[in-house]
Amino acid sequence: MSFLDSWQALSDTPWATAIHESDLVFPALESVHVLALMLMAGTIAVADLRLLGLVLPGVPAAEVERRVTPTTWFGFAVMAATGGLLFASEAGDLRRNPAFLVKVCLLAAAGLNVLAFQILARPALERTPAGAAAPPAARVIAALSLAIWACVIVAGRAVAYFTHKGG
Amino acid sequence: MLHALFHAYAGTPVSHAVRDSSWIFAVTEMVHLMMLAVTGGALLIGGIGLTGAAFQFPDRAGAWRGLRGVAWWGLAGLLASGVLLVGVNPLKYYFHPAFRVKMTLLLLAVSAWAALDVLVARKPPAAPGLLAAGAVTVLVLWLGVAAGGRAIGLF
């Protein structure tokens, strides 16, 4: 069985089928997933906009990033949990859905971008005096982050369009 | 009067364009979600910060003021994209119960938000308890707006 074939096997399990066929569970999971994505993307957007110097000028960028990160991770945890269940219930169809595959790649890119921030930007950011502009590396990574998360939202919404077209 | 407005909107070239295009609605919906993330993120961080329940900004009112601009710009984007989305079938939305609930909550949320802005801007600022109560009201109303938006798609 190939990796992609195993997706079909996953969606054929009794619990995944039950989620897929439920009139209540699937929409509820989908709603919580969207809200969690909004929570996570929203907090990331604020932190990124601060790194770019566009919001919260009175609070150091490193402090904003430190204070919002736990909320971002909470949003990510809820998004991943609900996303995992949604994926399992439709895995068989999603293996042929280009928007979903793009979304997975974008999520991986977002993860790499976080890693790049920790390695390349955080040390310099911690040394940046209050009120000063964030280091160039931090600003580039913040702009990339905003672009990637905007694309994640676009791809996530596009998944439904491709699914409805029988993708 | 509102019915006449929605009816007139259905006859506009904008509404026809949204209805006839296979991509305008999809793209607008994506922009709407992005604007929701921006507005929601700013209000969430500023609002929860005002309550003191999280984020612990040394100057809570200052943090709210620092996020106010991006939140209002996000709202402008939400409204613009929302009007376009309604254009796909204005009369269907007019009669949709979830849409009516969402619009009522939106009106209340924006009013509460504007009132909170005034309270935060006052010199000296209003009592922390009042600001926290205002922030909770704004956040609960916005949660209702988001839930109303999902309900439109589901029912």
Tokens of B4: 């006449």
How high is the pLDDT of residue A165? 43
Average pLDDT, chain B: 91
The count of domains in chain B is: 1
Q: Which long-range contacts (CB under 8 A, 24 or more apart) does A98-102 make?
A: A98/A162, A98/A167, A99/A155, A99/A156, A99/A158, A99/A159, A99/A161, A99/A162, A99/A167, A100/A155, A100/A159, A100/A162, A102/A155, A102/A158
pLDDT the model gives residue B111: 97
- Shortest CA gap A152–chain B (Å): 10
The pLDDT of residue A167: 37
Structure tokens at A29: 């999971």
Where chain A has pLDDT below 70, the residues are 1, 164-167
Cα–Cα distance measured from residue A61 to residue B112, given in angstroms and rounded to the nearest whole number: 29
Total domains, chain A: 1
Partners of residue A161 in chain B, C-beta under 8 Å? 26
Minimal C-alpha gap between A75 and chain B (Å): 11
Q: Label residue B150 by pLDDT band (50, 70, 90).
A: confident
Which residue in B33, B66, B154 is closest to A55 by CB distance? B66
- CB-CB under 8 Å, A42 with B37: yes
Contacts of A153 in chain B (CB under 8 A): 30, 33-34, 37
Q: Tell me which chain B residue has its CA closest to the CA of residue A43.
A: B41
Please answer yes or no on whether A45 and B63 come within 8 Å at the CB atom.
no
Contact B70 A43 (CB under 8 A): no
Token output for B86: 């309604």
Query: CB contact, 8 Å: A57 with chain B?
Result: yes
Residue A164: predicted pLDDT:
53
**Is the CB of residue A121 less than 8 Å away from at least one CB of chain B?**
no
pLDDT for the residue A10: 86
pLDDT score of B1: 84
Instruction: Show which residues on chain B lie within 8 Å of chain A, measured between beta carbons.
Output: 26, 29-30, 33-34, 36-42, 44-45, 48, 54-57, 59, 62-63, 66-67, 69-70, 146-147, 150, 154
A37 and chain B: CB distance < 8 Å anywhere?
yes
Q: How many CB atoms lie within 10 A of CB A78?
A: 17
Give pLDDT tens digits for B84-127.
999 999 999 999 999 999 999 999 999 999 999 999 988 887 88
Nearest neighbour of B40 by CB, restricted to A42, A49, A68? A42
Binned at pLDDT 50, 70 and 90, residue B146 comes out as confident
Domain range for B32 is 2-154
Task: Dump the DSSP string for A112-156.
Answer: HHHHHIIIIIHHHHHHSPTTSPPPHHHHHHHHHHHHHHHHHHHHH
> What distance in Å separates the CA atoms of residue A154 and residue B134, rounded to the nearest whole number?
33
B37–A161: do the CB atoms touch at under 8 Å? no
Minimum Cα–Cα distance from A75: chain B residue: B41
Distance from CA of B35 to the nearest CA of A (A): 9
Question: Which of chain B's residues have a Cβ under 8 Å away from the Cβ of A44?
Answer: 41
Q: Which tens digits make up the pLDDT trace of B6-65?
A: 999 999 999 999 999 988 998 998 899 889 889 988 999 999 999 988 888 888 888 899
Domain range for A28:
3-164
Question: Which among A57, A58, A153 is the nearest to B37, CB-wise?
Answer: A153
